Structure 1
Amino acid sequence: MSRSARRDVALLLLGLVAGAGTLYVLQDRPASVTSSHAAEGGHGHGEEEGHAEGAVELNDAKLAAAGIGLETAGPEKLRQKLRLNGLIQPNQEAVVQVAPRFPGIVREIRKRLGDKVNKGDVLAVIESNQSLTTYDLKSPISGTVVDRGVALGEYVSEQKPAFIVADLSTLWVDLSVYRKDFAKVRLGDPVQIDPEDGGAPISGQVIYVSPIGATDTQSALARVAIPNDG
Structure 2
Amino acid sequence: MKIKFICLILALGLTSLIFSENGHDDHEGHDHDNHSKNEESHDDHSGHGHDEHEEDLKLSPKIIGEIGLTVETVTKKNIGETVAAKGKIVTNPNNFAKIGSLISGRVAKIHSKLGDFVKKGDVLFEIESTEIVGVISDFISSKSELEVAKTNFERLQNLKKSEIGSAKNLLEAKAQFEIASAKFKAADLVIHTIGFTDKDLDEIFESDSHSKVLFKIRASITGEISFSDIKLGQFISEEVTVFEITNYSKIWVEVSLFEKDFGKVQNGNKVEVKLPMRNSILGGKIIRIGKTLSEIDRTIPLLVELEKPQGLIVNSFVEVNLFSNSKLTLAVPNQSLQFEGGENFVFVEEEPNKFERKAVFLGQKFDNYTEILSGLTENDKIVVEGSFYLKSKLAGENIGGHSH
Q: How far apart are 1:199 and its partner, in Å?
A: 4.4
2:97 counterpart residue number:
96
Q: 1:210 to 1:107 in 2, by over 3 A?
A: same
* 2: CA distance, partners of 1:99 / 1:125: 11
2:71 counterpart residue number:
none
User: Does structure 2 conserve the Cα–Cα contact (< 8 Å) formed by 1:106 and 1:124?
Assistant: yes
1:72-100 residue CA offsets vs partner (Å, 9 max, x unmatched): xxxxxx93111211110111111122221
Gaps of 5+ in 2: 1-78, 134-211, 312-404
Q: How far apart are 1:166 and its partner, in Å?
A: 1.9
Alignment of 1:150 onto 2:151: no
Q: How far apart are 1:190 and its partner, in Å?
A: 0.3
1:160 to 240, 247, 254: 240
Q: Which moved more, 1:126-135 or 1:79-88?
A: 126-135
Compute the TM-score of the two structures, normalised by the length of structure 2: 0.36
Alignment of 1:228 onto 2:309: yes
2:87 counterpart residue number:
86
* 1: CA distance, partners of 2:239 / 2:278: 43
1:40-88 residue CA offsets vs partner (Å, 9 max, x unmatched): xxxxxxxxxxxxxxxxxxxxxxxxxxxxxxxxxxxxxx93111211110
1:112-148 residue CA offsets vs partner (Å, 9 max, x unmatched): 2221101221111111132373221111221111222
User: Does structure 2 conserve the Cα–Cα contact (< 8 Å) formed by 1:105 and 1:129?
Assistant: no
Q: How far apart are 1:107 and its partner, in Å?
A: 2.1
1:162-214 residue CA offsets vs partner (Å, 9 max, x unmatched): 22212211101001111222222211110011111344311100001111112
Write 1 or 2 for the structure with the bigger share of helix.
2
> What secondary structure, in the 3-state scheme, does the structure 1 residue paired with 2:128 have?
strand
Compute the TM-score of the two structures, normalised by the length of structure 1: 0.61
* 2: CA distance, partners of 1:154 / 1:218: 48
* 2: CA distance, partners of 1:184 / 1:124: 50
* 2: CA distance, partners of 1:221 / 1:86: 10
Gaps of 5+ in 1: 1-77
Corresponding residue pairs, total = 153
2:293 counterpart residue number:
213
The two structures, once aligned, show a CA RMSD in angstroms of 1.9
* Structure whose alpha-carbon radius of gyration is higher: 2
* 2: CA distance, partners of 1:104 / 1:185: 52
* 2: CA distance, partners of 1:160 / 1:178: 40
Q: 1:149 to 1:220 in 2, by over 3 A?
A: farther
User: Of the two structures, which has the highest relative contact order with CA contacts closer than 8 Å and spacing of 6 or more?
Assistant: 2
